[in-house]
Amino acid sequence: MARFTRVFGVRKLPVQKMRGLRVRLTLSFVLFFSILMVAIGLFYRKTLEYDMEADMRAALEEEWGAAKGYLRIENQQPIWVADRTDPEENFIVARLRHIDLVADANGEVLEVSDTYRSIGIDSRDEIRRILSLSEPSEIHKRWDSEGVAYLIKAGRTLDDKGRPYFFAIGRSLESVQSTVHDFTRLYFAVLPGLIILSGGLGWLLAGRAIRPVNDVAQAAQAITGSNLSLQIPLRGAGDELDHLIDSFNRMTARLDESFEQTRRFSTDVSHELRTPLTAIRGQLEVGLLTAQTPEQYREAMLNALEDVEKLSSIVRALLLLSQAESGQLVLQKTPLDLAAMAEDVADQFQIPAEEKHVALSTEVRSGALISGDHTQIERLLSNLLSNAIKYTPAGGTVRVRVDLADSSGWARLAVEDTGVGIPAENLPRIFDRFYRVRSADTSVVPGLGLGLSFVAWIVQVHGGRIEVASTPGEGTRFTVLLPLAESAGDPAAREREPALHLEDGELPLST
Ligand code: ATP
Ligand code: MG
């Protein structure tokens, strides 16, 4: 079921809606911060592990060199030669033998420490593989049953007769593992606290960022249909928000102007309708109260009918204009020869021009083929021509010209007269509905002030441009540019700005 509620007065925005943005900003900040902190933690953990392991590898390499110095193999027996009186040397050898394995070339174990046994003794195949390597040694990693990691350096050593033996020593990575583990535990224990803190910070920052938006929203709420001229003050920060405020202010200014136009229009319509209505009423009263003979009745009726005719012509024109401007008037565009049409319409105006003693001439060049609606283009021509003749006193001239504009892709129509002209301050409003210049020269000229509104609409729906140049007391020139038919679907052909350009020395005009 369709519903419509009209709300009067200023409606406050729901508070929850405004919070929503702040919450979303905070959550995004927290999410970003959490992902960043977890990534940093994992990266640091990996780096720590890698660095500590690299140190272990370097130490193991050193020990391997020392071990080879202390180990002799004689008669298939490994002998560790160390000065028994030197406690330091004894300590080193004991450390080396803590994780070690000595085996012969067949994989027969000659010596193995308990710790090494817990990691697992190398298989015979593995021993043969190591002995056959071109590099005398390699380092690899192994784990015992409890998950403790060890670095093992295995390689080749020779006995007193120069026969190869398998020899390996190792180092526990337990300290590395426990350091990394401690770091991870500590880091991820602190992280939730940091995230909560970041949430608080995010909430504060989002609040600060949004406050000006709320201020602007409040200022905007104060603007209603009746005070559209109110502007939201710019903050002077020159940021996106100022840009938004500026756009908003421009929008309300445009709305204000269009409201003003509508208001003016309503006043003008009532005024325009009231004049013939009053006249009709007057005629009817005459008929009813004072007329005595059938002739007098008849005259009153005829006068009333004339005014009814005027009334209905206003209503017809208004209806047509509103249909046109709301897009209800369907245009039927066909290829039209603007030059031929201008000649035709000018022919129709020859008699009224002669009656007014105005010389009407045409000067057209062929090739101005446009795509347009025949009825509307004819209306455009006759409105411009009727104005030119209407507002030119006896003895004046009206000239219609059609040619191609300097910029390619445009046909140009110019209607020039040597009439009363239009004062500069009235120029911007002559295309408004019902607008007429009020002056001693024109007040006696009949008209509704709707002709140029039609002209403007017709030019607009044909994708053209219109310009007016006028000097009061000297004359007026209307110039219309319309896209040529072959370039109607190809805007690139009219890429250059069309020049609504006026040649010198013909009429001393000012825009
Ligand atoms: P309508 O065309 O509806 O019968 P109108 O001619 O007064 O009435 P518009 O054609 O819209 O209305 O023109 C608006 C006003 O612009 C005119 O009233 C007139 O003051 C001025 N104007 C238009 N064309 C000329 C012109 N060629 N020379 C001088 N003033 C003009
Ligand atoms: Mg007119």
On whether both 371 and 489 belong to a single domain, the answer is yes
> Considering every ligand atom, which ligand is closest to the CA of 452?
1
CA–CA gap between residue 376 and residue 297 (Å, rounded) = 41
Out of 309, 325, 341, a domain closes at 325
CA of 435 from ligand 1 middle (Å) equals: 8
CA–CA gap between residue 494 and residue 410 (Å, rounded) = 7
Residue 299, domain member (yes or no): yes
To test the pocket of ligand 1, the residue of 269, 360, 384, 391 to mutate (highest count of ligand atoms within 8 Å of its CB) is 391
Out of 156, 178, 200, a domain closes at 178
Half-sphere exposure of 74 (CA within 13 A, CB side): 6
Ligand 1 pocket at CB < 6 A: 383, 387-388, 391, 417, 419-422, 430, 435-437, 442, 447-453, 476
On whether both 347 and 407 belong to a single domain, the answer is yes
On whether both 338 and 404 belong to a single domain, the answer is yes
**What are the 10-residue block averages of pLDDT along the chain, 511 residues in total?**
50 57 91 95 95 94 89 89 85 90 91 91 90 84 90 90 91 93 94 94 90 82 80 84 89 87 81 87 89 89 90 87 82 94 96 96 93 95 96 96 87 96 92 84 78 92 94 95 75 50 35 29
Q: Quick one: tokens of 456?
A: 């403007």
Q: Do the beta carbons of residue 10 and residue 224 sit within 8 Å?
A: yes
CA of 392 from ligand 2 middle (Å) equals: 12
Q: What residue owns the CA closest to ligand 1's atom 25?
A: 387
CA of 405 from ligand 1 middle (Å) equals: 25
CA of 501 from ligand 1 middle (Å) equals: 22
CA of 349 from ligand 1 middle (Å) equals: 16
Q: What residue owns the CA closest to ligand 1's atom 15?
A: 436
Range(s) of the domain holding residue 468: 333-495
On whether both 318 and 367 belong to a single domain, the answer is no
Give this prediction's pTM: 0.55
CA of 323 from ligand 1 middle (Å) equals: 21
The number of the ligand 1 atom at minimal distance from the alpha carbon of 449 is 12
| Domain CATH number, residue 303 | 1.10.287.130
CA of 435 from ligand 2 middle (Å) equals: 10
The number of the ligand 1 atom at minimal distance from the alpha carbon of 442 is 20
On whether both 305 and 264 belong to a single domain, the answer is yes
In three-state secondary structure terms, 26 is: helix
What is the tally of helices (H) and strands (E) in the chain? 10, 14
On whether both 295 and 264 belong to a single domain, the answer is yes
On whether both 341 and 436 belong to a single domain, the answer is yes
Out of 292, 325, 358, a domain closes at 325
Q: Do the beta carbons of residue 477 and residue 416 sit within 8 Å?
A: yes
CA of 451 from ligand 1 middle (Å) equals: 7
The number of the ligand 1 atom at minimal distance from the alpha carbon of 435 is 14
CA of 154 from ligand 1 middle (Å) equals: 107
Residue 163, domain member (yes or no): yes
To test the pocket of ligand 1, the residue of 265, 436, 443, 470 to mutate (highest count of ligand atoms within 8 Å of its CB) is 436
Which of 352, 500, 360 has the alpha carbon at shortest distance from 419?
A: 360
Q: Do the beta carbons of residue 177 and residue 148 sit within 8 Å?
A: yes
On whether both 358 and 483 belong to a single domain, the answer is yes
User: How many domains are contained in the chain?
Assistant: 3
Residue 20, domain member (yes or no): no
Q: What residue owns the CA closest to ligand 1's atom 29?
A: 421
pLDDT score at 16: 46
Q: Tell the burial category of 325 from Cβ atoms under 10 Å away from its Cβ (0-12, 13-18, 19+).
A: middle
Residue 382, domain member (yes or no): yes
Residue 467, domain member (yes or no): yes
Q: Do the beta carbons of residue 380 and residue 454 sit within 8 Å?
A: yes
On whether both 279 and 355 belong to a single domain, the answer is no
pLDDT score at 85: 86
Question: φ, ψ for residue 138 (rounded to 5)?
Answer: -150, 155
Q: What residue owns the CA closest to ligand 1's atom 2?
A: 451
To test the pocket of ligand 1, the residue of 269, 429, 432, 452 to mutate (highest count of ligand atoms within 8 Å of its CB) is 452
pLDDT score at 259: 85
| Domain CATH number, residue 397 | 3.30.565.10
Q: What residue owns the CA closest to ligand 1's atom 4?
A: 447
CA of 370 from ligand 2 middle (Å) equals: 24
Q: What residue owns the CA closest to ligand 1's atom 27?
A: 388
Q: Quick one: tokens of 478?
A: 């209307």
pLDDT score at 103: 93
On whether both 397 and 318 belong to a single domain, the answer is no
> Considering every ligand atom, which ligand is closest to the CA of 434?
1
Residue 14, domain member (yes or no): no
| Domain CATH number, residue 91 | 3.30.450
Q: Do the beta carbons of residue 420 and residue 438 sit within 8 Å?
A: no
On whether both 346 and 470 belong to a single domain, the answer is yes
The number of the ligand 1 atom at minimal distance from the alpha carbon of 388 is 27
Residue 350, domain member (yes or no): yes
On whether both 169 and 64 belong to a single domain, the answer is yes
- Do the strands 100-103 and 77-80 form a parallel or antiparallel pair, or are they unpaired? unpaired
Residue 199, domain member (yes or no): no
Place of tokens 């805007």: 491
